[in-house]
A = this chain, B = another copy of it.
């Protein structure tokens, strides 16, 4: 019975890793799409999001069955509850990647990012893809050093988000309202992406160390 339970807990962990890899691919593709205006790539992110939704349902169903059939307590139960939260965050990160790709599609054949903000968006893409890769590694290894790196990427995203807004309201800025709208939303999507990554990493830190401080996960 215990062996079966352990196998099912391992399957649950694998499901979350599969979701995280999906998100990692989505954010990498959507970053390339926004920087290059690649419509096909953007379309593939939009089409693939459904698969992530299915994975989330699978995780949720597995969690409910695990609790009902195995009646776990203690750390096992908390791991299952955390998995429910993590799957919701990963699903949401996929939605954000999809939103960005929809911006690419709407703007096509023009670019969705004006020259005034290209460097800032490049920075956000870099920090977000780093964070997405680290979330995969954290779920695979439970190495807490990775959690610290995710917090750093989130700090970078927060700074870039603020810088993007400041640049929009600076004296020398003369973008069109459409450009202002696009940048406002893009910066917001990337900032939320970082929040979700930190939320996931705090839940993992809690499971590994039992330390609940700083565990107000924003999901």
B74 engages A68 (CB within 8 Å): yes
**A218: CB under 8 A from chain B?**
yes
A188 to chain B minimum Cβ distance, whole angstroms, is 7
The stretch that binds B, out of A38-46, A121-129, A140-148, A168-176, is: A168-176
Which A174-219 residues have a C-beta within 8 angstroms of B? 175-178, 180-181, 184-185, 188, 216, 218-219
**A84: CB under 8 A from chain B?**
yes
Query: Considering only CB atoms and an 8 Å cut-off, how many residues of chain A contact the other chain?
Result: 33
A83 to chain B minimum Cβ distance, whole angstroms, is 11
Q: Looking at the complex, which one of B64, B175, B177 makes contact with A77 (CB distance below 8 Å)?
A: B64
Chain B: CB-nearest residue to A178: B169
Binding site for B on A (CB under 8 A): 53, 60, 63-64, 67-68, 71, 73-74, 77-78, 81, 84-85, 88, 92, 95, 165, 168-169, 173, 175-178, 180-181, 184-185, 188, 216, 218-219
